[in-house]
Chain A
Amino acid sequence: MSSQLKWKFAFILAVLLVCIFGVIGVPTFPTSLAQVKDNLAKRIQLGLDLKGGSHLVLQVQLQEAIGQRCDEAVDDLTKQLRAKNVAVGEIRRVDDTHILVRDVDSNASGPFRDLVSNQFPEWSMAPAAGETNGYLLEMKPSVVADLRQAAMNQTLETITRRINALGLTEPTIAFTGRSDDEILVQLPGVGDPTGAKAVIQAGGQLQLVRVADGPYPSEAEALAQHGGVLPAGTTIVPGKNESVAAGQPAGQVFYVLDRSPVVTGQDLRSADANPSTEYPGQYEVDFKLSTAAAARFGPFTESQAAIGGRMAVVLDKQVYEAATIQSRIEDSGRITGGFSQESAQNLALVLRAGALPASIKYLEERTVGPSLGADSIRDGVRASIGSMIVVMIFLVFYYRLSGVNAVVALILNLVILVAFLAYAGAVLTLPGIAGVILTIGMGVDSNVLVFERIREELRGGKVPAPAVDSGFDRAFLTIIDTHVTTVVSAVFLFLFGSGPVRGFAITLIIGLIANVFTSIYVSRAIFDFHLSRMDRQAHLSI
Chain B
Amino acid sequence: MELFHGVNVDWMGKAKYFVALSLLLLAVGWISVYRTVVVKHGTLYGIDFRTGTLVTVRFAGKPPIDQIRKGLQQAGLPNSTIQGISDTRSIASQNDVVIGLEQTQGDESLDAGKQKILDVLHATFGTDTSGKPDFNSVTQPALAADLTRKDPLVLGTNAGDRYNQLATKLTSARDTDHGGIVTSFDQLKNVEGVTPAVVSSLAGDYSLGTFAIRDADIVGPKVGKQYQRQALLATLYALGGMLVYIALRFEWVYGAAAVIAVFHDVLITLGFFSLFHYEISLTVIAALLTLVGYSMNDTIVIFDRVRENLRLMRRESFPDIVNKSINQTLSRTILTSGLTFLTVLVLYLMGGEVLRAFSFAMVVGVVVGTYSSFGIAAPIVVLWNKYGGGQAATVRGRSAARTA
Q: Are A197 and B304 in contact (CB under 8 A)?
A: no
| Residue A486 lies at the interface, judged by CB distance under 8 Å to chain B | yes
Q: Give the bracket for the number of chain A residues in contact with chain B.
A: 35 or more
Q: Are B342 and A390 in contact (CB under 8 A)?
A: yes
For A340-376 the 0/1 string (1 means CB < 8 A from B) is 0000000000000000000001111111111111111
Q: Are A391 and B352 in contact (CB under 8 A)?
A: no
9-residue interface stretch from B29-37, B149-157, B171-179, B199-207: B171-179
| Residue B230 lies at the interface, judged by CB distance under 8 Å to chain A | yes
Q: Answer whether A383 and B351 are a contact pair too, CB < 8 Å, given A367-B216, A444-B339.
A: yes
Our pick among B241, B282, B293, B301 for the contact of A500 (Cβ within 8 Å) is B282
Q: Are A386 and B350 in contact (CB under 8 A)?
A: yes
CA–CA, A84 and B125, complex, Å = 70
Our pick among B107, B140, B219, B362 for the contact of A189 (Cβ within 8 Å) is B140
9-residue interface stretch from A3-11, A144-152, A273-281, A430-438: A430-438
Q: Are A362 and B140 in contact (CB under 8 A)?
A: no
Our pick among A191, A452, A485 for the contact of B297 (Cβ within 8 Å) is A485
* CB of B342 to closest CB in A, whole Å: 5
Our pick among A455, A489, A501 for the contact of B2 (Cβ within 8 Å) is A455
Q: Answer whether A376 and B234 are a contact pair too, CB < 8 Å, given A57-B223, A189-B141, A504-B286.
A: no
Residues on B with C-beta less than 8 A from A398 are 1, 335
Q: Are A365 and B114 in contact (CB under 8 A)?
A: yes
Interface residues of A in 73-115 (CB under 8 A from B): none
* CB of B330 to closest CB in A, whole Å: 10
Q: Are B176 and A374 in contact (CB under 8 A)?
A: yes
9-residue interface stretch from A118-126, A321-329, A490-498, A531-539: A490-498
Q: Which of B107, B110, B340 has the most CB of A within 10 A?
A: B340
Q: Are B171 and A437 in contact (CB under 8 A)?
A: no
| Residue A292 lies at the interface, judged by CB distance under 8 Å to chain B | no
Our pick among A391, A488, A497 for the contact of B241 (Cβ within 8 Å) is A488
CA–CA, A500 and B328, complex, Å = 39
Q: Are B346 and A501 in contact (CB under 8 A)?
A: no
* CB of B357 to closest CB in A, whole Å: 11
9-residue interface stretch from A14-22, A25-33, A306-314, A474-482: A474-482
For B126-155 the 0/1 string (1 means CB < 8 A from A) is 000000000001111110000000000000
Residues on B with C-beta less than 8 A from A433 are 355
CA–CA, A237 and B139, complex, Å = 42
Our pick among A191, A444, A488, A495 for the contact of B245 (Cβ within 8 Å) is A488
Residues on A with C-beta less than 8 A from B223 are 57, 363-364
Q: Are B215 and A372 in contact (CB under 8 A)?
A: yes
Residues on A with C-beta less than 8 A from B80 are none
Q: Are B351 and A489 in contact (CB under 8 A)?
A: no
Interface residues of A in 402-449 (CB under 8 A from B): 430-431, 433-434, 437-438, 440-442, 444-445, 448-449
Q: Are B238 and A442 in contact (CB under 8 A)?
A: no
Interface residues of B in 212-250 (CB under 8 A from A): 212-220, 222-223, 226-227, 230-231, 233-234, 237-239, 241-242, 245-246, 249
CA–CA, A391 and B343, complex, Å = 7
* CB of A198 to closest CB in B, whole Å: 10
**Please, which residue of chain B has its CB at the minimum distance from the CB of A178?**
B226
CA–CA, A373 and B176, complex, Å = 10
Our pick among A59, A383, A486 for the contact of B347 (Cβ within 8 Å) is A383
Q: Answer whether A444 and B336 are a contact pair too, CB < 8 Å, given A189-B140, A191-B139, A376-B354.
A: yes
| Residue B332 lies at the interface, judged by CB distance under 8 Å to chain A | yes
Residues on B with C-beta less than 8 A from A442 are 297
Q: Are A482 and B296 in contact (CB under 8 A)?
A: yes
Q: Are B212 and A371 in contact (CB under 8 A)?
A: yes
| Residue A530 lies at the interface, judged by CB distance under 8 Å to chain B | no
| Residue A379 lies at the interface, judged by CB distance under 8 Å to chain B | yes
**Please, which residue of chain B has its CB at the minimum distance from the CB of A386?**
B346
Q: Are A444 and B213 in contact (CB under 8 A)?
A: no
Residues on A with C-beta less than 8 A from B179 are 371
* CB of B161 to closest CB in A, whole Å: 11
CA–CA, A194 and B111, complex, Å = 9
Residues on A with C-beta less than 8 A from B220 are 362-364
Q: Are B297 and A482 in contact (CB under 8 A)?
A: yes
| Residue A68 lies at the interface, judged by CB distance under 8 Å to chain B | no
| Residue A296 lies at the interface, judged by CB distance under 8 Å to chain B | no
Q: Are B347 and A370 in contact (CB under 8 A)?
A: no
Our pick among B171, B216, B355 for the contact of A370 (Cβ within 8 Å) is B171
Q: Are A452 and B331 in contact (CB under 8 A)?
A: yes
**Please, which residue of chain B has its CB at the minimum distance from the CB of A438?**
B290
Q: Are B293 and A489 in contact (CB under 8 A)?
A: yes
Q: Answer whether A496 and B1 are a contact pair too, CB < 8 Å, given A362-B220, A379-B355, A391-B343.
A: no
CA–CA, A456 and B305, complex, Å = 13
Interface residues of B in 1-50 (CB under 8 A from A): 1-2
CA–CA, A493 and B331, complex, Å = 31
| Residue B285 lies at the interface, judged by CB distance under 8 Å to chain A | yes
Residues on A with C-beta less than 8 A from B286 are 431, 434, 493, 497, 500-501, 504-505
Residues on B with C-beta less than 8 A from A499 are 282
**Please, which residue of chain B has its CB at the minimum distance from the CB of A364?**
B223
Q: Are B404 and A380 in contact (CB under 8 A)?
A: no
Q: Are B300 and A482 in contact (CB under 8 A)?
A: yes
| Residue A164 lies at the interface, judged by CB distance under 8 Å to chain B | no
* CB of B333 to closest CB in A, whole Å: 9
| Residue B59 lies at the interface, judged by CB distance under 8 Å to chain A | no
Interface residues of A in 25-56 (CB under 8 A from B): 49, 52
Our pick among B140, B285, B359 for the contact of A501 (Cβ within 8 Å) is B285
Our pick among A367, A371, A390 for the contact of B180 (Cβ within 8 Å) is A371
* CB of B46 to closest CB in A, whole Å: 12
| Residue A190 lies at the interface, judged by CB distance under 8 Å to chain B | yes
A interface, CB within 8 angstroms of B: 49, 52, 57, 59, 169, 178-179, 189-192, 194, 197, 361-376, 378-380, 382-383, 386-387, 390-391, 394, 397-398, 430-431, 433-434, 437-438, 440-442, 444-445, 448-449, 452, 455-456, 474, 477-478, 481-482, 484-486, 488-493, 495-501, 504-505, 508
Q: List 13 A-B contacts (CB under 8 A).
A: A191-B137, A362-B107, A368-B215, A390-B343, A398-B1, A437-B344, A438-B294, A456-B328, A481-B300, A489-B289, A497-B231, A499-B282, A501-B234
Beyond known contacts A370-B140, A434-B286, A490-B289: 8 more, CB 8 A cutoff: A178-B230, A361-B108, A391-B339, A391-B343, A438-B343, A448-B332, A482-B301, A497-B286
